[in-house]
Structure 1
């Protein structure tokens, strides 16, 4: 069933229930359903229907959702991008594909009878961009069922229901946030979509976010009952802080290409999301292996056959190269980062997330990113970029912590500080951009001026 059909059902049952709350105001389910129907009629009159790719870059998040759901109802494949992208940028990210239309303003509403459409679960119905933490974003395409059929198990794990108000505090170009908003609407909840600059919790009972946003919502939790946290490892201290604030945390690991892989619903560690099989494949004698998953939730691949980290074997297993410790069914999955982010230094392999986990505990560190920078003898050296919006912690304290808690190969040899880490639309640190800034800084180019050497 299209998400749009869920909206129609909720509109029939509870027309006055708030559906979307955005910067421009609030829409009830009846108003949202009418907007989707009218916009879908407009698309169909333009000849845009089943099989068409619709590029959507509308600034207002409520209008963006309306356009995406109208495309869904018309049988087209919506692809959400940034509202600032021009035709040249869209051409870059879609490659050889040519969207049937590009929507950068609210769609006209056309009057008429309900839009007839009989979708199939295997339709290529949703496309979304990978987070772009490395390289340019890639458009990932998936069947309708691979996304919508995961809603029920997610509700079982989180307790999200029609009475909830779900805060989605990020841009909908991110698959994490677009999934969160559409899941809320399919469930019959109220989706709060403030865009890039969320102001408060807006009465939210649930927040679907990334780890670095959790401290902000815990400062004044209000009615918040549950935080659904995806996208990166969650510090155990943060889970304890949430418990003190009366907020239950459900964290999960996944990827745009794989959707949900593992979930930690109680602080006991990551275990397979319902319907997911997990393998960690390691070379003989290796301490880490690649995570492979097989499930109904995985994507079909990249639009236009674009290259990317996704790999698939003949048995239907897929991987994006994430690393984990050896794993057996029934155990906790212990992730160790993305394989292509590992740092080779002097013959040793350093996983950045191991170093970051230690350094985040130092007072005064808002966040940290660890990357490798070139070295003529060692190949690369571990380099830490500290986020500190005030006075950074002394380098001596950082080095003392590294000596106490890290192996020699893991200890950063270069230290930099920045007031705010650049982030991807999904809220993850933009590692590729930081690596480029470091290269400019080491070469003495002006572009690297945002980074300051910590001495």
Structure 2
């Protein structure tokens, strides 16, 4: 696999004028690089980082704001044998305190020697012992004429540190190795997508500090030479329609995003704009990074059918940073054929039994079988393999599994068993060889002896009129006799008075579950990970501290 190592691929770009990257910054300015030009910029950043005092093994934290600045610097650090650490840029809208708190927790874990960011961002960073450098200063730094030699391929070489977007716990910096990155990149592009550099073109607005954006649309396409258009994330935040417009404009064939983005793009694009799009070239729209809602994908497919989108292009996928990125990608057409299972048996027995004609059904997205050379199994609480269609914890094994975590004092292992199985902390089941994720172990609601997947409560709550798609979080609070369910729901102020009753009624009807409290909050209140997953434990903490300013306070909030 050494010929697909990042540095080996870049070396092969000498004199190659085929397109490599197209960057669109936060102001909409576009810059295009050929493969040869990308190689030049990578070598240039390697030289300048070296001149600024970084060397092989140095940790270089890079703020992922402008793709045209971040990507060459990131690749330049890898080229020079440094260890880049992608950092989230300041948020476009609100949550600035949460961003600062997140960095204050993450930087001591990463222990960078050098931090590079836009000058305005540097001024907002929490204090560190690292040297701070603006991108302007880096790109203007005096440097020797000759770049450092490219880092040789060694499977155990640390390629970069990737902060996991896990929804609970302290920040965890995953140690991505040359071997795991190369294996996962090839598995995604060759086995998952059958990508062809001569005809394919990727498009992404995803945050580049997150594994789905960094691996999915920078490193994996680079491994096989697929060109990519990279939009600054803030462009999508301001105008979600830019995602599909760009895919149409460049004739893009591959893109992807978490479930919430498909809901947002559907809601924010009017019929006139849809009619002007041409999405007929797109063969793969990946959906992952958070639980996949078949209903959301159907609505997206229906809305974009007028633009020539093939519904079969929508493909759920499953992965996690501890396995570099992806574990499995559903075959084409899977999104239109979700697994319909008996809700009663799933709810009461953790059994995903096919639904009979007289039973209430629930749909679960299938994410395909694990990549060749990789394995997945589902185990019970004792670590024993579950039967087909029995819900348990998903474990994965294979060459994409990363080396472990970096923390303040030492490298420490990921949750890997002696025989190499990575314990993901995700619940799910296997059916006909395909993985069907079904939530997080730590977030399971235990009420009156029942184990309840919060995702099901949230999906039911979102069906209540006035609740924003992707705008509900469920957790529990202490009650008199048992834990009680709380739902925090985002809505517009004029809809807040009726949200409580509507959520209680629909959750009771669909799940047979009483909701102890409903808190209506303004849009943007919910804490989420970088991939859009709800941070349920953080929302529970805020709720119990009384730190959730409601649009209106539910009269039964303190009834317990």
TM-score (norm 1): 0.86
The answer to whether the aligner puts 1:49 opposite 2:55 as a matched pair is yes
Question: Residues 356, 74 of structure 1: CA spacing in aligned structure 2 closer, same or farther, 3 A cutoff?
Answer: same
The answer to whether the aligner puts 1:422 opposite 2:527 as a matched pair is yes
Question: Residues 359, 308 of structure 1: CA spacing in aligned structure 2 closer, same or farther, 3 A cutoff?
Answer: farther
Contact 2:20 2:38 in 1 (8 A): no
Deviation of residue 164 (structure 1)? 4.2
Say which is worse superposed, 423-432 or 105-114, in terms of deviation: 105-114
Of 127, 130, 149, the match for 1:116: 149
Contact 2:392 2:428 in 1 (8 A): yes
Aligned 1:63-74 pairs, distance under 5 A: 63-74=69-80
The answer to whether the aligner puts 1:25 opposite 2:30 as a matched pair is yes
Question: Residues 2, 228 of structure 1: CA spacing in aligned structure 2 closer, same or farther, 3 A cutoff?
Answer: same
The answer to whether the aligner puts 1:273 opposite 2:309 as a matched pair is no
Of 454, 459, 475, the match for 1:352: 454
Q: Give the whole-Å Cα distance in 1 for the aligned partners of 2:221 and 2:25.
A: 14
Question: Residues 2, 155 of structure 1: CA spacing in aligned structure 2 closer, same or farther, 3 A cutoff?
Answer: closer
Tell me the residue number matched to 2:362: none
Q: Give 3-state SS (helix, strand or coil) of 2:155's partner.
A: coil
Deviation of residue 70 (structure 1)? 0.5
Q: Give the whole-Å Cα distance in 1 for the aligned partners of 2:457 and 2:416.
A: 30
Contact 1:422 1:434 in 2 (8 A): yes
Deviation of residue 343 (structure 1)? 1.8
Deviation of residue 262 (structure 1)? 3.0
Tell me the residue number matched to 1:384: 487
Say which is worse superposed, 42-51 or 230-239, in terms of deviation: 42-51
The answer to whether the aligner puts 1:319 opposite 2:423 as a matched pair is yes
Tell me the residue number matched to 2:394: 291
Of 310, 314, 319, the match for 1:249: 314
Q: Give 3-state SS (helix, strand or coil) of 1:135's partner.
A: coil
Tell me the residue number matched to 2:193: 158
Deviation of residue 270 (structure 1)? 2.4
Q: Give 3-state SS (helix, strand or coil) of 2:297's partner.
A: helix
Contact 1:75 1:119 in 2 (8 A): no
Q: Give the whole-Å Cα distance in 2 for the aligned partners of 1:88 and 1:354.
A: 30
Q: Unaligned 5+ residue runs, structure 1?
A: 442-446
Q: Deviations over 1:357-389 (max 9, x none)?
A: 3333334332221111222321x2111122224
Q: Give 3-state SS (helix, strand or coil) of 1:324's partner.
A: strand
Question: Residues 236, 146 of structure 1: CA spacing in aligned structure 2 closer, same or farther, 3 A cutoff?
Answer: same
Q: Give the whole-Å Cα distance in 1 for the aligned partners of 2:515 and 2:146.
A: 64
Question: Residues 234, 306 of structure 1: CA spacing in aligned structure 2 closer, same or farther, 3 A cutoff?
Answer: farther
Q: Give 3-state SS (helix, strand or coil) of 2:32's partner.
A: strand
Q: Unaligned 5+ residue runs, structure 2?
A: 91-95, 118-133, 338-365, 556-560
Deviation of residue 242 (structure 1)? 3.7
Say which is worse superposed, 415-424 or 300-309, in terms of deviation: 300-309
Question: Residues 215, 148 of structure 1: CA spacing in aligned structure 2 closer, same or farther, 3 A cutoff?
Answer: same
Q: Give the whole-Å Cα distance in 2 for the aligned partners of 1:10 and 1:450.
A: 55
Contact 2:185 2:215 in 1 (8 A): no
Tell me the residue number matched to 2:542: 437
Deviation of residue 125 (structure 1)? 0.6
Contact 1:55 1:80 in 2 (8 A): yes
Aligned residues: 445
Deviation of residue 454 (structure 1)? 4.7
Tell me the residue number matched to 2:164: 130
Question: Residues 90, 432 of structure 1: CA spacing in aligned structure 2 closer, same or farther, 3 A cutoff?
Answer: same
Question: Residues 242, 5 of structure 1: CA spacing in aligned structure 2 closer, same or farther, 3 A cutoff?
Answer: farther
Tell me the residue number matched to 2:128: none
Q: Deviations over 1:242-276 (max 9, x none)?
A: 43321411221121113322332332522323132
Q: Give the whole-Å Cα distance in 1 for the aligned partners of 2:9 and 2:186.
A: 13
Q: Deviations over 1:106-135 (max 9, x none)?
A: 223646345422232331112111115223
Question: Residues 424, 308 of structure 1: CA spacing in aligned structure 2 closer, same or farther, 3 A cutoff?
Answer: farther
Q: Give 3-state SS (helix, strand or coil) of 2:314's partner.
A: strand
Say which is worse superposed, 146-155 or 62-71, in terms of deviation: 146-155
Say which is worse superposed, 288-297 or 189-198, in terms of deviation: 189-198
Tell me the residue number matched to 1:170: 206
Q: Give the whole-Å Cα distance in 1 for the aligned partners of 2:21 and 2:453.
A: 45
Tell me the residue number matched to 1:180: 216
Q: Give the whole-Å Cα distance in 2 for the aligned partners of 1:450 and 1:398.
A: 15
Deviation of residue 309 (structure 1)? 10
Tell me the residue number matched to 1:369: 473
Q: Give the whole-Å Cα distance in 1 for the aligned partners of 2:65 and 2:447.
A: 44
Tell me the residue number matched to 1:261: 327
Deviation of residue 154 (structure 1)? 2.0
Contact 2:464 2:499 in 1 (8 A): no
Q: Deviations over 1:326-384 (max 9, x none)?
A: x47x4333333111111222332222112223333334332221111222321x21111
Q: Give the whole-Å Cα distance in 1 for the aligned partners of 2:161 and 2:296.
A: 32
Contact 1:383 1:415 in 2 (8 A): yes
Deviation of residue 289 (structure 1)? 2.0
Say which is worse superposed, 285-294 or 241-250, in terms of deviation: 285-294
TM-score (norm 2): 0.71
Alpha-carbon RMSD: 3.2
Contact 1:170 1:425 in 2 (8 A): no
Question: Residues 419, 431 of structure 1: CA spacing in aligned structure 2 closer, same or farther, 3 A cutoff?
Answer: same
Contact 1:62 1:193 in 2 (8 A): no
